[in-house]
Chains A and B, each alone.
Chain A
Amino acid sequence: MEEKKQYYTISVYTENNIGLVNRISTIFLKRHVNLLSMTASESEIEDVYRFTILVKMTEDKVKKIVGQIEKQIEVIKAYYHTDEETISQETALFKVASKLLFEEPQVQNIIKRSGATIVTVNKNFFVISKTGRRIETEALYSALKPFGLLQFVRSGRIAVTKEAMNISDVLKDFDDLD
């Protein structure tokens, strides 16, 4: 039986290395897998970096990919989690023509109800920002789309996990090997 495809958030803790983005992305490329998003930032530990990657695939496949990622020399540890196991956020920016605020009264209501914040307003356009789960930014997108969006962009997912990811212990474990 074919296993079910679902969203997985892959968290990769790494050393800071110039080629690492390439080294990680090539693992997906080799398997003809599309990354839905990828972000990189500092982590809770000094000098340890963290990639957050969103994919949609079977658990068998994500498990093997995480195994290959973890095998890379500068990768400290990699995990994968389902949506239920993570608290995730994405930020979307919407650029809308200012005239819509006056011509389409619903637009104001949509914005108010969405809890989006206004980033900037001028005579020609305004920009609103919505941070939340994918479903929330998608809802706002669907609501505004019929009125016409000048521009739309959404950031990659960032996520923390409900369970602990004990990177300090992992690092200690590496040190103990000497």
Chain B
Amino acid sequence: MSKTVRITGAEAVIRCLLEEDVDLIYGYPGGAIMPVYDELYKYQDKLTHVLTRHEQGATHAAQGYARTSGKVGVAIATSGPGATNLVTGIADAQIDSTPMVCITGQVASHLLGSDAFQETDIIGISTPVTKWNIQVTKAEDIPEVMAKAFYIARSGRPGPVLVDITKDAQFSEFDFSYEKCKGVRSYKAIPKTDPQSLKDAAALINEAEKPMIVWGQGVILGEAEAEFKAFVEKTNIPAAWTILGVSALETKHELNVGMVGMHGNYGPNKLTNECDLLIAIGMRFDDRVTGNLETYARQAKVIHFEIDPAEISKNVYADVAVMGNVKTTLEGILPLVDAKKHDTWLAEFKAFDKIEQEKVIQEELYPSKDGISMGEVIRNINEVTKGDAVVVTDVGQHQMMAIRYADFVKSKSNVTSGGLGTMGFALPAAIGAKMGAQDRQVIAVIGDGGYQMTIQELGTIFQNNIGVKIVVLNNEFLGMVRQWQELFFENRYASTEMTNPNFVKIAEGYNIPANRVKERAHLANAVKTMLETDGPYFLEVCVEKENNVFPMIPTGASVSDIRLS
């Protein structure tokens, strides 16, 4: 426990952050949080505060930071609109299990419930989308609450926590001391692993003729990349990934068979309905992964490695549930599984891959048409980065293209809004991603729609000289919605076409070097120049307007009904 000192609640907030090894926070000041900002001013040599241009940007930046650094992201805002502007980021962090602590100012406790200026019930509003939230009305409660907030945010299945502090609690003085939280009585962060479940799982794995792995972000959050790779390589089981799991195993690994789900790869989707054993590792069977549950892997036994008991048999029945942190459970199962070859089975994946290469991938990466495709932009990026970059994506067609075609060689390299599908995520998330991985190249790939939802964060990039590379794939459409309109609404393009501003001029207005590419001949050089330029860079690529993302599983269809066109 730290030594007792008499300080204000506001200073205590800062001291708590320092005790939790926080050296970077994102936020936006305002009336009810001013005492904390005053302390931030005093502590600026120890704690960096990045002023975003909107509170939503602060949450996404905190998320991006958490994803690449593995630490807890912190966002801070004032009461009322400041607090409500955090909600999208909080919901995003909740569904994508991102550790984040949000601190909001609140009106003074005697004004609670009086509809005071900038009063809003942020506890009530944020309850459904937080792992935990709490309102603090007394300064002396701050240390314990903050310790608990960080413990809850980062432990077990991580998630967002919101701490709402009334202005009087920030002002009043108390005797501060700090003790880290080591546990909460009613909260079991990591469930116990039943040794029998490991034996049962191993027996199924050793028996299986056509086993298939689907892994998710749990492998990354559990820092279990090495254990996962050892398991995959010993058993030689083809392994497919969900969108959030992607970078846990390098893209070009021979057992990496690609992405499952709506715009995933042909083989793993088709063969989900052929395998005799489905091994789910740190994933939650989202509907974008499974398609119609009635026809999802019905022939297969299912093993689910999972940290959250509520996920077991939630969407897909688990014959064997292996509870616990995947790092421990994968380590535990390794000696129990046989080294095997699955050559014939793997050949089936290769055969489907060949079809997908011919019918989809080749044309996407090396288009025969004049217009630039999104896939070839990603290919050009791969050629320079060799997969060693953090790729941050927004939501839509460009996201699917980037995730499908980007090469990854390192974990924690993919930052995207998966579960919530938050347009506007990428630009602010890239700020955090870069600050969480300073020595890495961070490339934000964004559509022209999502870019304009949080475009004001260019100001944050400019002011702090954050070296993110921004690639806007401009098709002058809300492309994914347009694709659905084309396929399912008989080409009725309701409100999806956009007249865009001059993005290059906007970037230049923020002193960010910028370029626009319209022709294939200039693409490779433009990408190279961008990646060689120090500091931030903006590249707009005008891509084919009405290209579609394939393969595709239409909503409600079975994974094996995946369409190639």
Which of A16-24, A108-116, A125-133 is the interface stretch?
A: A16-24
Q: Which of A30, A71, A73 contacts B184 (CB 8 A)?
A: A73
Of B127, B186, B314, the contact of A67 (CB 8 Å cutoff): B314
State whether the Cβ of A171 lies closer than 8 Å to any Cβ in chain B: yes
The CA-CA distance from A15 to B187 in the complex, in Å, is 11
In the complex, which residues of chain A have a beta carbon less than 8 angstroms from the beta carbon of B131?
A: 73
Does residue B128 face the partner (Cβ distance < 8 Å to A)?
A: yes
- Say whether A67 contacts B185, CB under 8 Å: no
Whether B310 and A175, one on each chain, are in contact in the complex, defined by CB atoms closer than 8 angstroms, is no
Q: Is the CB of B309 within 8 A of A19?
A: no
- Residue of B127, B182, B183, B187 near A19 (CB, 8 A) is B127
Report how many residues on chain B are interfacial, defined by Cβ distance under 8 Å.
22
Instruction: Tell me, in angstroms, the Cα distance from A35 to B123 when the chains sit together.
Output: 22
A residues 59-89 touching B (CB-CB < 8 Å): 64, 67-68, 70-71, 73-76
Asked, given contacts A18-B135, A64-B314, A67-B314, whether A73 binds B152 with beta carbons under 8 Å apart, the answer is yes
Which of B152, B310, B314 makes the CB contact (< 8 A) with A70?
B310
Q: Is there an interface contact between A15 and B309, defined as CB atoms closer than 8 Å?
A: no
**Cα A19 to Cα B314 with chains together (Å):** 26
Given A26-B127, A26-B128, A73-B152, CB of A171 within 8 Å of CB of B185:
yes
CB distance from A93 to the nearest CB of B (A): 31
Question: How distant is A90 from chain B, measured CB to nearest CB, in Å?
Answer: 28
B312 smallest CB distance to A (angstroms)? 8
Report the minimum CB–CB distance from A166 to chain B (whole Å). 15
Task: With both chains docked as a complex, state the minimum distance between the C-beta of B505 and any C-beta of chain A, in angstroms.
Answer: 44
Contact partners of A70 in chain B: CB under 8 A = 309-310
The CA of A44 and the CA of B502, in the complex, are separated in Å by 68
B132 adjacent to A73 (CB under 8 Å): yes
Asked if residues A67 and B309 are in contact (CB atoms below 8 Å), the reply is yes
B310 CB contacts on chain A under 8 angstroms: 64, 67-68, 70-71
Interface membership of B558, Cβ < 8 A: no
Let me know if B185 and A19 touch, CB within 8 A. no
Q: Which residues of A contact B134 (CB under 8 A)?
A: 19
Contacts of B187 in A (CB 8 A): 73-74, 174
> How many Å lie between the Cα of A14 and that of B182 in the bound state?
20
Contact partners of B182 in chain A: CB under 8 A = 178
Is there contact, CB below 8 Å, between B308 and A74? no
Query: Given the complex of chains A and B, what is the CA–CA distance between A23 and B128 in angstroms?
Result: 7
Q: Output the least CB separation between A173 and chain B (Å).
A: 8
Within 8 Å by CB of A177, from B132, B135, B188, lies: B188
In the bound complex, residues from chain A placing their C-beta under 8 Å from that of B133 are 19
Interface majority SS on B: helix, strand, loop or mixed? Answer: mixed
Interface string of B117-130 (1 = CB under 8 A from A): 00000011001100
Report B-chain residues with C-beta under 8 Å of the C-beta of A174: 183, 185-188
Min C-beta distance of A7 to chain B, whole Å: 23
Contact B186 A178 (CB under 8 A): no
Instruction: Name the one of B124, B183, B186 contacting A74, with C-beta atoms under 8 angstroms.
Output: B186
Q: Min CB distance, A33 to chain B, in Å? A: 14
Q: Cβ of B309: which chain A residues have Cβ within 8 Å of it? A: 67, 70-71
> How distant is B48 from chain A, measured CB to nearest CB, in Å?
30
Name the CB-closest residue of B to A22.
Answer: B127
Name the residue in B185, B186, B314 with the highest tally of chain A Cβ atoms < 10 Å from its Cβ. Answer: B186
Minimal Cβ-Cβ distance residue in B for A76: B186
Q: Which residues of B from 301 to 329 have beta carbons under 8 Å from A?
A: 308-310, 312, 314
Q: Which residue in chain B gives the minimum CB-CB distance to A14?
A: B186
On chain B, the residues within 8 Å of A177 by CB distance are: 183, 188
B314 lies within 8 A of A71 (CB): no
Report yes or no: B127 in contact with A178, Cβ–Cβ below 8 A: no
Task: Looking at the assembled complex, report how far the CB atom of A130 sits from the nearest CB atom of chain B, in whole angstroms.
Answer: 36
Interface residues of B in 159-195 (CB under 8 A from A): 182-188
Report yes or no: A75 in contact with B186, Cβ–Cβ below 8 A: yes
Task: Flag if B127 contacts A15 (CB, 8 Å).
Answer: no
CA distance A131 to B66 in the complex (A): 55
Min Cβ gap B109→A in Å is 13
Q: Are A23 and B185 in contact (CB under 8 A)?
A: no
Please, which residue of chain B has its CB at the minimum distance from the CB of A47? B185
Closest to B134 in A: A19
Of A22, A64, A73, which is in contact with the most chain B CB atoms at under 10 Å from its CB? A73
Cβ contacts under 8 Å, A18 to chain B: 135
* Chain A residues within 8 Å of B184, by CB: 73
The minimal Cβ–Cβ distance linking A81 to chain B, given in whole angstroms, is 19
Residue in chain A with minimal CB distance to B314: A64
User: Known interface pairs A22-B127, A26-B128, A70-B309. Does A178 touch B135 (Cβ–Cβ under 8 Å)?
Assistant: no
B119 to chain A, nearest CB (A): 17
Query: Considering the chains assembled together, what is the distance between the CA atoms of A150 and B502 in angstroms?
Result: 71
**B152 surroundings in chain A (CB, below 8 A):** 73
B186 touches A19 (CB 8 A): no
Are A178 and B183 within 8 A (Cβ)? yes
Please give the distance in Å from B156's CB to the nearest CB on chain A. Answer: 10
The distance from the CB of B385 to the nearest CB of chain A, in whole angstroms, is 39
Least CB distance from A149 to B in Å reads 36
> In the complex, how many angstroms separate the beta carbon of A175 from the nearest chain B beta carbon?
7
Chain A residue nearest in CB terms to B152: A73
B184 and chain A: residue at smallest CB distance: A73
* Binary contact track B51-85/A, C-beta < 8 Å → 1, others 0: 00000000000000000000000000000000000
Shortest Cβ distance from A174 into B: residue: B185
CB-CB under 8 A from B135, the residues of chain A are: 18-19
> Quick one: which of B132, B133, B187 has the most chain A CB within 10 A?
B187
Task: Note all chain B residues with C-beta closer than 8 A to A75.
Answer: 186
Measured between beta carbons, the chain B residues less than 8 angstroms from A74 are 186-187
Per-residue CB contact flags for chain B residues 425-453 toward chain A (1 = under 8 Å, else 0) read 00000000000000000000000000000
Q: Which 7 A-B pairs have the closest CB atoms?
A: A67-B310, A76-B186, A26-B128, A73-B132, A71-B310, A73-B187, A174-B185
Using a CB–CB cutoff of 8 Å, the interface residues on chain A facing chain B are 14-15, 18-19, 22-23, 26, 29-30, 64, 67-68, 70-71, 73-76, 171, 173-175, 177-178
- With A22-B124, A73-B186, A73-B187 known, 12 other A-B pairs at CB within 8 A are A15-B186, A26-B128, A67-B309, A67-B314, A68-B310, A70-B309, A71-B309, A74-B186, A76-B185, A177-B183, A178-B182, A178-B183
23 contacts between A and B (CB under 8 A): A15-B186, A19-B123, A19-B124, A19-B133, A22-B123, A26-B128, A29-B128, A64-B310, A67-B309, A67-B312, A68-B310, A71-B309, A73-B132, A73-B152, A74-B186, A75-B186, A171-B185, A173-B188, A174-B187, A175-B185, A177-B183, A177-B188, A178-B183
